[in-house]
Amino acid sequence: MKTFLLGSTKRQVLEMIPECRIHKINLGDQVIALVRSQENFHAFQADCPHRGTSLVEGSLSSEHEVICPSHQYRFNLLTGEVKVGSCGDLEIYPTELTQEGLKVFISNDQ
């Protein structure tokens, strides 16, 4: 498991990452997507499991789903489960907001 730290304080992270938008985040040689909802953060693979379209260009639903812009497949941000469409689930990454910044945990086989 690799741990990445975004920002250097909790306050900086909250200022740096506005709510209700999909952010593209570079972690080393990996790109992930990140959504903030109040003080909760949802990190997930940036490319759609269906055909690889960038989910950073997608949209968010009021049901905690990210919607792919290509074929409108929907994925639950909390579990990664595909809700509309037929493909694999979305890979999600645990996060933890601390006084030192936002930790993002990515398994080594990513």
Buried b (16+ CB within 10 A) or exposed e, 73-108: bbbbbeebebbeeeeeebbbbebebeeebbbbebee
Which range binds ligand FES by CB under 6 A, 6-14, 38-46, 68-76, 97-105?
68-76
Q: Which residue, 53 or 59, has its beta carbon nearer to ligand FES?
A: 53
Q: Which residue, 45 or 95, has its beta carbon nearer to ligand FES?
A: 45
With CB under 6 A as the contact rule, the residue among 4, 41, 44, 73 that binds ligand FES is 73
In sequence order, the β-bridge partners of residue 84 are 74
Minimum distance from residue 53 beta carbon to ligand FES (Å): 4
CA distance 89 to 74: 10
* Burial of 51 per CB tally in 10 Å (0-12, 13-18, 19+): exposed
Site string for ligand FES, 39-58 (x = CB under 6 A): ---------x-xx-x-----
Q: Which residues bind ligand FES (CB under 6 A)?
A: 48, 50-51, 53, 68, 70-71, 73, 85
